[in-house]
Amino acid sequence: MALIQLNPPEIAAPASRYSHGVLVPASATRLIISGQVGVQPDGAVADGLAAQIEQAFANLEAVLIAAGMGVGDLVKITAFTVPADGVGLFRAIRDRRLLGHAPACTYVQVAGLASPAFLFELEGEAAKETGR
């Protein structure tokens, strides 16, 4: 699909592997993915920030696969984290899991999530050319 990543020269370059904007053609099917936390398939919460980030990405990828999509179809992700020092860890895991793909991305530090056990939540949007 002809997604167009937008990083205009009038603004500072992205601080890491993401795009300031992604243009999606009108002919694309759009998928909105609810916030995914570090809950494993058996219902247990993964232990620690790194494990929760990994599980949230795995859960997001499962939704993509169920829709016939993959990480290359992501156009936007939003990450919410409770620990103040998680951005570097998030970036490293994101870059590895997205295989070089650079969707638009927002990272937000929050005071808390739906459960005190949750340290991280990830939501996303994906688009895929219809008929592809």
Q: 77-113, pLDDT tens digit by residue?
A: 999 999 999 999 999 999 999 999 999 999 999 999 9
Render pLDDT for 2-37 as a digit per residue (tens, 0 to 9): 777 888 899 998 888 888 888 888 889 999 999 999
Mean pLDDT of 46-66: 98
Instruction: List the alpha helices (DSSP H) in the chain.
Output: 49-66, 87-97
Report all structural domains of the chain as residue ranges with CATH numbers, in order of start: 16-129 (3.30.1330.40)
Q: pTM above 0.75?
A: yes
| Per-residue CA distances from 106 to 15, 59, 67, 132 (Å) | 11, 18, 23, 28
Q: What is the pLDDT of residue 32?
A: 93
**Beta partners for 105?**
77
